[in-house]
Amino acid sequence: MSYPLTLRFKVLAVARQLSVFGADERLLMYAKQKAFKLKEAITIFADREQTRPLYRVAADRIIDFSATYNISDAEGIPLGAIRQKGMKSLWRTNYEIVRGDRVLYNVREENPWAKVGNHLFENIPVLGMFSGYVFHPRFQISSNGSGPVVRVAKQPAFLESVFRIDRLPGAISPEDERLLLIGAVVMVLLERQRG
């Protein structure tokens, strides 16, 4: 994978649409979150036409407080999960990326005030269109025991939300990197949904 990766959201769409691009501007993933679903279910595709499914993500409950989002490949083979740390996430976003019972990565928001400011500014009529230039929430993904491996940061943008994923020094197996990337995409979708 060619880093940095770029996640782009369409802001003026009924259903959330997210595209993931590599450093070479090649589309790696596309997800369109269905609006008004009670239980979260996301299919991640290799193309915008949604003809080649890559991964499926399904919540284990309707209310997403402390929910676990199970990740499987297109054939339904489980890859792992990302789970929100309920009470810990009330102020500062906290998730765990797991495989089986083993926690592989921890996702933590670097500055919770940036998210609060971004959410408040976004909801101001007219001025909210420029919120992409003011506050930039950042998330750090750390390996269990060896420190940060990835940083996800909101970037300045107009009429869309753009996040950048940077790979930090450290060894990650291709299998773990795939799970980490899907976990990061799901985390951004969920955090974007919450504000």
**Residue-wise pLDDT tens digits, 144-180:** 767 889 999 888 877 778 899 999 887 788 888 999 9
Q: Provide CATH code, domain 5-194.
A: 2.40.160
Q: Taking the alpha carbons of 108, 190, 163, 137 in that order, is the dihedral positive or negative?
A: negative
pTM to 2 decimal places: 0.81
Which helix or strand (DSSP H or E) is residue 176 part of?
Answer: helix 174-194
Angle CA(182)–CA(116)–CA(68) in degrees, nearest 5?
30
Give the separation between CA 99 and CA 81, rounded to whole angstroms.
6
| 53-75 mean pLDDT | 84
Beta bridge mates, 17: 32
Has residue 54 got a pLDDT over 90? yes
Q: Give the pLDDT band of residue 114 (cuts 50, 70, 90).
A: low
Q: Which residues contact 105 (CB under 8 A, 6 or more apart)?
A: 96, 97, 141, 142, 143, 144, 149, 176, 180, 183
Cα separation of the two ends of the chain: 29
- Of 9-18, 60-69, 111-120, the least confident: 111-120
Q: Which residue has the higher pLDDT, 4 or 86?
A: 4
| Ramachandran quadrant class, 114 (left: phi over 0; alpha: psi -120 to 50; beta: rest) | alpha
pLDDT at 194: 53
Average pLDDT in the chain: 81
Give the separation between CA 109 and CA 123, rounded to whole angstroms.
21
pLDDT > 70 fraction of the chain, expressed in percent and rounded: 75
Angle CA(40)–CA(46)–CA(48) in degrees, nearest 5?
80
Q: Which two tokens stand for residue 4?
A: 């940095």
Instruction: Classify 140 as helix, strand or coil.
Output: strand
